[in-house]
């Protein structure tokens, strides 16, 4: 059985990752593929429990930066072994709302941790697995703020200062420039225009699958 493909969607808050993950999953299913969707942090019982700690201080105190990093990586290790790798082995396409590039952007560029150490720790958590394709949905910072502020109580990351969000956004763009698997997509237009750009970016993977 052919191995499935692993696609991640990344970007700042409100960029449209959840929206486009759902639309892409629908389109891939319509093309006859078996698709599994997941998210980080989350996607397993352990991951969802840790998500509440990471985003909403469910432990009663906020995790300090190194603890925060290790909690994200613990979620990733669990998700990789429990969901992603088995699904890929079964020939499913896996779409994840955030993955390793969020760690590099938020904990690396945002919190100021060294990218070399983050890459090594991420490799340990994933046993060296990488996405086949990453779609970076990019929007101007003001647009991200406007989309997030329109939807109720902010989580711990959304409450970070503007300069943190600026570093994260810049970090994502640097990662896209330096990493061939990352495709940067403008997500500031209409959802329809973004969905078409997402679909175009996925075509090479679909065509690979058609080769004998
Ligand atoms: N984190 C995560 C780390 O710090 N390190 C890590 O390693 C990981 C994995 C997770 C938080 O954890 C941090 C980063 C995050 O802060 P989250 O809930 O997964 O939090 O992430 P959010 O980005 O906050 O999720 P959102 O749901 O807010 O953002 P989405 O998914 O990007 O946006 P979406 O699709 O829910 O909503 C977009 C809105 O914009 C409108 C839509 O109608 C919708 O209202 N819109 C468009 N949507 C798509 N395309 C367009 N062109 C649109 N135009 C308008």
Task: Specify if 93 maps to a domain.
Answer: yes
Long-range contacts of 203-209 (CB under 8 A, 24+ apart): 205/5, 205/7, 205/132, 205/133, 206/31, 209/2, 209/5
Q: Which residue has the tokens 């909403």?
A: 56
Spell out where 67-122 has E strands. Answer: 93-97
What is the pTM for the complete model shown?
0.96
Q: In this predicted structure, what is the pLDDT of residue 46?
A: 98
- Kindly state if the Cβ of 69 falls inside 6 Å of ligand 1: no
Percent above pLDDT 70 for the chain: 98
Question: How many A from CA of 210 to the centre of ligand 1?
Answer: 32
Provide the residue range defining the domain that includes 206. 6-210
Question: How many A from CA of 4 to the centre of ligand 1?
Answer: 25
Counting beta carbons within 10 angstroms of the beta carbon of residue 15, is it exposed (0 to 12), middle (13 to 18) or buried (19 or more)?
buried
- Kindly state if the Cβ of 43 falls inside 6 Å of ligand 1: no
Work out how many domains the chain is built from and give that number: 1
Decide: 102 and 108 in contact? Cβ < 8 Å. no
Question: How many A from CA of 178 to the centre of ligand 1?
Answer: 23
The closest residue, in CA terms, to atom 51 on ligand 1 is: 191
Task: Specify if 1 maps to a domain.
Answer: no
- DSSP SS3 for 75: helix
Task: Specify if 101 maps to a domain.
Answer: yes
CATH number, position 160: 3.40.50.300
pLDDT per position as a tens digit, 114-148: 999 999 999 999 999 999 999 999 999 989 988 98
Does residue 211 carry a pLDDT above 60? no
Question: How many A from CA of 138 to the centre of ligand 1?
Answer: 11
Task: Specify if 129 maps to a domain.
Answer: yes
């Amino acid at each position: 059985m052919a191995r499935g493909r692993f696609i991640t969607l990344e970007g700042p808050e409100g960029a449209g990752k959840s929206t486009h993950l759902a639309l892409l999953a629908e389109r891939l299913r319509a093309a006859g593929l078996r698709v599994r969707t997941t998210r980080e942090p989350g996607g397993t019982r352990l991951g969802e429990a840790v998500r509440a700690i990471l985003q909403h201080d469910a432990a009663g105190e906020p995790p300090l930066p190194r603890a925060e990093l290790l909690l994200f990586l613990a979620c990733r290790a669990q998700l990789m072994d429990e969901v992603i790798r088995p699904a890929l082995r079964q020939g499913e396409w896996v779409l994840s709302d955030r993955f390793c590039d969020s760690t590099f952007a938020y904990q690396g560029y945002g919190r100021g941790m060294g990218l070399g150490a983050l890459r090594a720790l991420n490799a340990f958590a994933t046993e060296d697995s990488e996405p086949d394709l990453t779609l970076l949905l990019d929007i101007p910072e003001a647009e991200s703020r406007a989309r997030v502020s329109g939807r109720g109580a902010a989580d711990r990351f959304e409450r970070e200062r503007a300069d943190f969000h600026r570093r994260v956004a810049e970090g994502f763009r640097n990662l896209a420039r330096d990493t061939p698997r990352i495709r940067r997509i403008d997500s500031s237009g209409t959802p329809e225009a973004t969905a078409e750009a997402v679909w175009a970016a996925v075509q090479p993977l679909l065509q690979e699958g058609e080769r004998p």
